[in-house]
Amino acid sequence: MAALNSELCIKCKGRGYCGKQCRILSRIQHMLPKAKNHFSGSSPPEIFVGRIGYPEVNTGILSPQEYGESEIMSMPELWFEKNLSIQEILNHRSQLVYSRFKSKISDARKTGRFLQIMQEISLASKPVSTEIFLKKPIKPRIIIDKSFPLIGNPAPLKSVRLEENPKIEKKVDYLVSDTDNKASNSILELYHSNINTSQIIKILSAGLLGLKTKRKLVPTRWSITATDDTISKSLLEKIRYYPEISEILVFHGYYVGNHYEFLLLPDKFSFEVIEAYMPGSSWNAFSQHATFSQDYEGFNRRKTYASSVTGAYYTARLVLCEYLEKIKKQASCVIFREERPEYNAPLGVGILRELGRDAFKQPPEKHETIQQALESMQKRMKLSISRFTEKSWLLKNYKKQARLSRWF
């Protein structure tokens, strides 16, 4: 029932299909922009490419109806850095107007005016002053998803004009112009050039990376996963040849109702994520019982999409790989995530990426046995840890293996 109602929230978009006032829309009603057909403002910068109706999808620009430093409306990196509350993030998101138009994914290789401006905005490293004319006033609607933060205030775009030239990093400009470079290679070059993950996702989504004849728009949800997956796979090419860690390590972190426990074990690389959605949380709002999602992979590459945990799986794998690359080691890692009742509105996987990165910056707990590690983890968790361990593929397989360390 919980899954059904969560899916209803995605389809409903605040229309009240459940017979009640939308629990998310009602919290931002007072912040919604005025119903204007013409306005100017500073796009954070942000764009959005939908996936419904693929290969012909809604695409568009997000911008507030005012000028200013609007990056805070768009960047999970800043939300985590400033420790913003859910309500503060929703207040920021509610001010963005989603000026949209229909596009075919192959339009990325064409020169349509709307799409060209959207692509220019996706390249910008700073807010871009933009003048927008709408065909109709905005509607009090929202688009929610596990992967990306709330998108609201959709309205059909009539005309758009940039009021200034976007500021574009030299590395970004160079790689977008390189039409002989594969998209995966460009993603990695941007990543290693310290372009933040959020911007790489936007550039990929806008269809600006890859071979000239193969460039296409990528729905935002897919571009998030593709970016995290591409980078972590590249890091794993080296990590699989590193020596194993020599002791059991535990990392943990918490942000706006999301609690992570990372358990690293001395072994060849393997990876598992088990998520618990507690009653009242964002994706289990209508049930009285916790529900679980689980995905995993062994030493060899995963060949299918992590359809249970979805985008959060690839985000968690990325932050783990960043840590293992930093220490030049490999390990088996099982991740327990509690989505608690405090997490009562979806904010996307970007905040989980930053939460995980921060957790791995902290000194790890070191334990002699798995049992000691689990007992320590339990002290921070709300649910019984046995509900996670009894499901864990990685722990069951780890216990079956004879370790060389037993004889040395």
Provide φ and ψ at 192, rounded to 5°: -75, -10
State how far the Cα of 62 lies from the Cα of 132, in Å rounded to an integer: 10
SS3 category, 88: helix
Nearby residues of 28 by Cβ (< 8 Å), 6 or more positions away: 90, 91, 93, 94, 152
How many CA within 13 A on the CB side of residue 394? 27
3-state secondary structure 231-263: HHHHHHHHHCCCCECCCEEEEEEEECCEEEEEE
Pairing of β 128-134 and β 97-104: unpaired
The DSSP code for 274 is E
Helix, strand, coil share (%) of the chain residues, nearest 5? 40, 25, 40
State how far the Cα of 270 lies from the Cα of 54, in Å rounded to an integer: 34
What pLDDT does 2 receive?
38
Integer CA distances (angstroms), 112 to 109, 117, 203, 251, in order: 9, 9, 17, 48
Q: What is the CATH number of domain 27-162?
A: 2.40.50
State how far the Cα of 5 lies from the Cα of 28, in Å rounded to an integer: 21
**Cβ neighbours of 347 (radius 10 Å):** 25
Cis upstream peptide for 346 (omega within 30°): no
Identify whether the C-beta of residue 43 lies closer than 8 Å to the C-beta of residue 69: no
Per DSSP, which regions of 44-87 are E strands? Answer: 46-49, 56-63
Pairing of β 154-162 and β 97-104: parallel
Picking from 383, 116, 40, 349, the residue whose alpha carbon sits closest to that of residue 225 is: 349
Per residue of the chain (408 residues), what is the pLDDT tens digit? 334 355 667 667 666 667 677 878 888 887 888 888 999 999 999 999 999 999 999 999 999 999 999 999 999 999 999 999 999 999 999 999 999 999 999 999 887 899 999 999 999 999 999 999 999 998 878 888 999 999 999 999 999 999 999 999 999 999 999 999 999 999 999 999 999 999 999 999 999 999 999 999 999 999 999 999 999 999 999 999 999 999 999 999 999 999 999 999 999 999 999 999 999 999 898 889 999 999 999 999 899 999 999 999 999 999 999 999 999 999 999 999 999 999 999 999 999 999 999 999 999 999 999 999 999 999 999 999 999 999 999 999 996 765 544 433
- The ranges assigned to domains in the chain are 27-162, 170-238, 243-407
Query: CA geometry: angle at 376 spanning 371 and 378, to 5°?
Result: 95
Tokens of 173: 């400009």
